[in-house]
C-alpha cells in the first residue's frame, strides 16, 4: 500500500461518489492484483486438518470479507458464481442475497458463512466435523459429519445446508472447467460456504468476489490489513475507522469475519 496515506484511503468508500470516481480512486499505488489473483507472498493453505478441532490453531491468515451494500443491486451473480464453483444444488445458496427493508426503503444483503471467531457451530458438533483451520476458516470435514444437524440449529445466520440427496450427474450447474471446490457432494451431511479455501490456497479471490459485477465484495487477510475486490485494494483498519461498518447480529457475540458498509446514511 506504498504511496497511499490514510486520508486518501478513507475516501475510498465515501458516500456520494459516482461509481466511475470510485473505481478511478480504487486503483492505487503499491501491491499488485493480476487477473483476479491476490499476490499475498507466503504459502497459503486450504482446509487443513480437524485434529485438535476443539482448540484454535496458530493463525497464518485471518481471512475477512467486507460487503459494500451501497453497491449491491441484488443481481445474484455472487450466488451464481458460488453455485458454479461448488456445484451447489438448487435451494442451497451458500451465498444468499436477502432483500431487506428499513426506514429508507429496500436494500439487498448478501450472506455468506460468517466464519465467526466465536462460532456456535464448532461448539455443538459432537464429532469435531466442524472445526477452524489454521487460516481461521470454519470448515467441515464431510467424512466425519454424521448428519445430526446440531450445527444448523446453532447457526444464527442460517448459513448451513443439509444434503438430502446427491446432485444429479451432469447437472448443468457443473463448472465446465471442473475446477471446483466440491467435485462431489455426499448425501446426509451438512455443507456451507468455505470462503473458497481451495482458491485462496492458490492466491485467488473467492468465486463470489470475482463474480460480482458491481465489485461490492472485498476479501483479504486482516493480519496484513489488506482487502481487495479485484481491481481495487483497501486497508481494512482504515475503512473500519472511517466508515460506518457493522457486523450482522454481532450482538450475539459470534464475532463474524464478515463486515458490511450500510446501504445508505
Convert the pLDDT of each residue in 186-196 to its tens digit. 889 999 999 99
Residue 79's SS3 state is: helix
Share of the chain above pLDDT 90, in %: 57
Query: Which residues contact residue 181 at a Cβ distance below 8 angstroms, ignoring those fewer than 6 apart?
Result: 85, 86, 194, 196, 197, 198, 199, 207
Inside any domain, residue 120: yes
User: Is residue 168 over pLDDT 60?
Assistant: no
Specify the pLDDT at position 135. 87
Inside any domain, residue 216: no
Inside any domain, residue 1: no
Q: What pTM, to 2 d.p., does this model score?
A: 0.75
Inside any domain, residue 5: no
Mean of all residue pLDDT scores within the chain: 78
Query: What is the residue range of 192's domain?
Result: 32-47+60-211+239-261
Specify the pLDDT at position 165. 81
Residue 94's SS3 state is: coil
User: Is residue 48 over pLDDT 90?
Assistant: no
* Structure-block grid coordinates of residue 253: 457475540
Specify the pLDDT at position 2. 40
Specify the pLDDT at position 134. 86
Inside any domain, residue 167: yes
User: Is residue 157 over pLDDT 50?
Assistant: yes
By the 8 A CB rule, do 182 and 166 touch?
no
| Measured CA distances, 50 to 122, 125, 159, 219 (Å) | 11, 12, 20, 24
Number of domain units in the chain: 1
User: Is residue 70 over pLDDT 70?
Assistant: yes
User: Is residue 170 over pLDDT 70?
Assistant: no
Amino acid at each position: 500500500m506504498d504511496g497511499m496515506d490514510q486520508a486518501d484511503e478513507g475516501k475510498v468508500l465515501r458516500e456520494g461518489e459516482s461509481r466511475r470516481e470510485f473505481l478511478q480512486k480504487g486503483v492505487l499505488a503499491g501491491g499488485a492484483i493480476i487477473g483476479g489473483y491476490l499476490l499475498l507472498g507466503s504459502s497459503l493453505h486450504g482446509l487443513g486438518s480437524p485434529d485438535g478441532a476443539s482448540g484454535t490453531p496458530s493463525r497464518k491468515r485471518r481471512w475477512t470479507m467486507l460487503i459494500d451494500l451501497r453497491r449491491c443491486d441484488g443481481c445474484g451473480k455472487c450466488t451464481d458464481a458460488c453455485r458454479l464453483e461448488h456445484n451447489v444444488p438448487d435451494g442451497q445458496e451458500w451465498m444468499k442475497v436477502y432483500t431487506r427493508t428499513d426506514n429508507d426503503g429496500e436494500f439487498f444483503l448478501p450472506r455468506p458463512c460468517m466464519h465467526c471467531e466465536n462460532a456456535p457451530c464448532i461448539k455443538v458438533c459432537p464429532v469435531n466435523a466442524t472445526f477452524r483451520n489454521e487460516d481461521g476458516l470454519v470448515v467441515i470435514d464431510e467424512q466425519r459429519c454424521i448428519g445430526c444437524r446440531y450445527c444448523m440449529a446453532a447457526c444464527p445466520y442460517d448459513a448451513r445446508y443439509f444434503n438430502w440427496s446427491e446432485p444429479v450427474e451432469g447437472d448443468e450447474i457443473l463448472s465446465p472447467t471442473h475446477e471446483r471446490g466440491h467435485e462431489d457432494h455426499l448425501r446426509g451431511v451438512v455443507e456451507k460456504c468455505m470462503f473458497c479455501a481451495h482458491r485462496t490456497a492458490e492466491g485467488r479471490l473467492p468465486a463470489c468476489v470475482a463474480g460480482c459485477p458491481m465489485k461490492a465484495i472485498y476479501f483479504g487477510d486482516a493480519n496484513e490489513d489488506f482487502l481487495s475486490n479485484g481491481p481495487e485494494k483497501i486497508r481494512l483498519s482504515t475503512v473500519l475507522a472511517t466508515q460506518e461498518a457493522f457486523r450482522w447480529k454481532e450482538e450475539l457475540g459470534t464475532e463474524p469475519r464478515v463486515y458490511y458498509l450500510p446501504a445508505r446514511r
